[in-house]
């Protein structure tokens, strides 16, 4: 019996590993592959104005192109004092998509004079499942925290080195992958998605 294949709309190996662990913990035995398995399919432009819209755009595009169920997520850092920015622009805050260091440096510079008590922020994630027939589901997860003045830690990616999760005295980048998955916005969203995957894919 062949396992159901599920495509994750990302070329980020870390994210694929993360989702694989979460779905396995939920008892789902799936053949999980990243978008790299279909190099002929172009990346989808994230033209939505919310995390949920962008996640659905990516999931639907991959499901339509491959005829297989697809999962996509969109996530980012929302800073209270910046009115929720960088938000959906988190990965390209400094202008170039995916330049983690430039994004971090710019954000820290923008928050340079902001006192600790006003540095509240949260990571947000929307995870979407789309089937080739157009069926769709979206769930969301959040991780509250505060922003440090300097990056600390070498795990994770993106803004992990500056967000200190609520109730912790270390940044996300100082947590082990398992510790981070247990409390992260993406972990919460994907765990919420697991029963939906089970329901729709059996």
74 is catalytic: yes
Measured distance CA(188)–CA(199) in Å, rounded: 18
Secondary structure letter of residue 68 according to DSSP: S
- Binding residues for substrate, by number, are 10-15, 75, 157-160, 180, 185-186
Instruction: Give the residue among 195, 197, 167, 201 at the shortest CA–CA distance from 182.
Output: 167
Strands 31-34 and 5-8: parallel
DSSP 42-67: PPPP---SSHHHHHHHHHHHHHHHHS
Q: Which candidate in 31, 43, 73, 74 is catalytic?
A: 74
User: How many Å apart are CA 177 and CA 197, to the nearest integer?
Assistant: 23
Using left for φ > 0, alpha for ψ between -120 and 50, and beta otherwise, residue 199 falls in alpha
Q: Which two tokens stand for residue 30?
A: 């799936």
Phi, psi angles (nearest 5°) of residue 50: -145, 160
- Residues belonging to the binding site for Mg(2+) are 74
Q: What is the DSSP string of 68-106?
A: S-EEEEEEEEEEGGGTT-BGGGGGGTTSSTT-HHHHHHH
By annotation, the residues acting in catalysis are 74
């Amino acid at each position: 019996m062949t396992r159901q294949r599920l495509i994750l709309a990302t070329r980020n190996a870390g994210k694929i590993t993360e989702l694989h662990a979460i779905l396995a913990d939920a008892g789902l035995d799936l053949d999980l592959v990243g978008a790299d398995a279909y190099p002929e399919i172009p990346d989808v432009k994230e033209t939505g104005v919310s995390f949920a819209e962008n996640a659905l755009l990516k999931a639907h595009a991959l499901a339509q192109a491959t005829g297989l169920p697809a999962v996509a997520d969109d996530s980012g850092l929302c800073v209270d004092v910046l009115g929720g920015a960088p938000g959906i622009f988190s990965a390209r805050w400094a202008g170039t998509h995916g330049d983690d260091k430039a994004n971090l440096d710019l954000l820290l510079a923008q928050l340079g004079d902001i006192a600790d008590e006003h540095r509240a922020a949260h990571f947000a994630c929307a995870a979407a499942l789309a089937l080739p027939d157009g069926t769709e589901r979206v769930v969301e997860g959040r991780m509250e925290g505060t922003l440090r003045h300097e990056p600390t830690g070498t795990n994770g990616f993106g803004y992990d080195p500056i967000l200190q999760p609520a109730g912790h005295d270390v940044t996300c980048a100082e947590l082990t992958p398992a510790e981070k998955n247990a409390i992260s916005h993406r972990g919460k969203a994907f765990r919420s998605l697991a029963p939906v995957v089970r329901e729709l894919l059996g």
